[in-house]
Amino acid sequence: MPVAFILKGYPRLSEAFIAQEIAALERRGLDLMIVSLRRPTDDRVHPVHREIKAPVSYLPEYLYREPLRVVRSWWRVRKLPAYAKARARWLKDLKRDPTPNRIRRFGQALVLAAELPAEVTRLHAHFLHTPASVARYCAILRGLPWSGSAHAKDIWTTPEWEKREKLAECDWLATCTRANLDHLAALAPAGRVALVYHGVDLVRFPAQRMVHSAADGSAARPVTILSVARLVEKKGTDNLLDALARLPKELHWRLVHVGGGPLKQRMQKHAQRLGIAERITWRGALAQDELLAEYRKADVFALACRIARDGDRDGLPNVLAEAQSQGLACVATRVSAIPELIRDDTGVLVSEADTVAFAAALQALITDPARRRALGDAGQARLRTEFSLDVNFERLARKFGLPAHEDRVLRTA
């Protein structure tokens, strides 16, 4: 039965986990189309994006740019039996959230309801905020069931009233961490929310660390630290830089940072003020194949996530799991669901914004190749058994009504 996946933007380098999921569902036989609220802004795509065969349509990103399309859609949709109900639901939401964004989402829902192919039998929204709003309004208009996936910012920056109402109306919702599950399940009808870790596709990230690094921070054997993070507040890159500046001057290290974002210039200036700019390479956003090469060249992975001032936070950053897939020892913070992946025997966790502890953890790993190897091996082994795509995907496939995979049935029989 065809499903329309509603995404905020497609394709996006920062949302490889969504593309990975769509590609896996296609391989299992799900007939789907992709509807994006925004056009792409990245100048490249991941290899997985090229594998996806689903057709893609784009809704008007801003209603005023396509007024005729919006008006034609409204003219058609206003005749639907459920139009009055959808309009009333939207007006109720608009009263509590009188923003241009709320108006735009209803306009996009009108266009989607008018243009959605008749054979589509379900809507599925990735993210509980704006994509779920469009899915919810359109589902009412077209009389369709809808489901969703919730991840990070969409959970923690959406008001409670809105989460409760969306959870009450959707068929089901998958979320990617136990921390998210506990929060959302308390707002939802019993059994409505399911835990489905994203999982790392070990076909795309095969283990290949046959020779472990002997780098120890000496002049002859400097250590490469890798951090992969969008340059936004919740990623805590400024805290990582502060921690690096605390390392002993005689320690030899370099940081490779992968990821773009609005704070790039601010972070580069911060590194200059700290006197460590010459030790840092800013790579910008990379496709998965390029990123894999960076994981394999690194000695340590570091991510200093924190809760942003607006409440935004990560769920379980996929880059930590990807780093562990390559046997990297990870230093991270105890924020949100990160402790679900990283334990004392598979990595090092410190308190949020504790740059002194973060620096101490980095120094200990930089100077101890054997401990890095032990943590990296343990993290890699646990990832394969609990956080791989293969282990977690079946739960999602069942939600879409797909039959159990024969290989999985044989392995678990």
pLDDT above 90 covers a percentage of the chain that reads 91
pLDDT for position 209: 60
Beta strands in 199-269 (DSSP E): 223-228, 253-258
DSSP state of 8: S
pLDDT digits (tens, 9 = 90+) for 26-79: 999 999 999 999 999 888 899 999 999 999 999 999 999 999 999 999 999 999
Distance CA 175, CA 236 (A): 23
Domains 3-199+389-409 and 223-386 share a fold: yes
Provide φ and ψ at 113, rounded to 5°. -65, -35
pLDDT for position 412: 32
The structural domains of the chain, with segments of one domain joined by +, span 3-199+389-409, 223-386
CATH top-level class of 223-386? alpha beta
pLDDT for position 312: 92
Bridge-partner residues for 7, per DSSP? Answer: 36
Q: How many CA atoms lie within 13 A of 359 on its CB side?
A: 15
Q: Which of 234, 299, 294 lies closest to 262 in space, CA to CA? A: 234
| CB-based contact 132:13 (threshold 8 Å) | no
Distance CA 80, CA 116 (A): 14
Taking phi first (over 0 means left), then psi (-120 to 50 degrees means alpha), and beta for anything else, what does residue 210 get? Answer: alpha
| CB-based contact 38:8 (threshold 8 Å) | yes
pLDDT for position 413: 29
pLDDT of 246 above 90: yes
Q: What is the pTM of this model?
A: 0.88
Q: Which of 198, 89, 191, 94 lies closest to 138 in space, CA to CA? A: 89
pLDDT of 157 above 70: yes
pLDDT of 1 above 80: no
Provide φ and ψ at 147, rounded to 5°. -135, 180
Beta strands in 119-184 (DSSP E): 122-126, 146-150, 173-175
Over residues 133-155, the mean pLDDT reads 97
CATH top-level class of 3-199+389-409? alpha beta
Distance CA 156, CA 174 (A): 15
Task: Identify the residue whose tokens are 């020892």.
Answer: 329
pLDDT digits (tens, 9 = 90+) for 271-320: 999 999 999 999 999 999 999 999 999 999 999 999 999 999 998 999 99
Which residue type, as a one-letter code, is found at position 277? A
pLDDT above 70 covers a percentage of the chain that reads 97
Q: pLDDT category, 411, cuts 50, 70, 90?
A: very low
Distance CA 209, CA 296 (A): 7
pLDDT digits (tens, 9 = 90+) for 198-230: 989 999 999 876 556 789 999 999 999 999 999
Over residues 220-241, the mean pLDDT reads 97
List of residues 6+ apart from 324 with CB closer than 8 A: 330, 341, 342, 346, 347, 376, 379, 380, 382, 383, 387
What is the total residue count of the chain?
413
Which residue type, as a one-letter code, is found at position 119? E
Instruction: Please calculate the CA angle 356-358-361 and round it to the nearest 5 degrees.
Output: 110
Taking phi first (over 0 means left), then psi (-120 to 50 degrees means alpha), and beta for anything else, what does residue 127 get? Answer: left
Over residues 338-345, the mean pLDDT reads 96
Mean pLDDT of the chain: 94
pLDDT of 146 above 90: yes
Q: Which helix (H) or strand (E) holds 282?
A: strand 280-284
pLDDT for position 212: 67
Spatial strand order of the sheet with 348-350 comes to 280-284, 253-258, 223-228, 300-303, 329-333, 348-350
89, 92, 96, 97 alpha-carbon torsion, rounded to 10°: 50
pLDDT for position 376: 95
Q: pLDDT category, 408, cuts 50, 70, 90?
A: very low
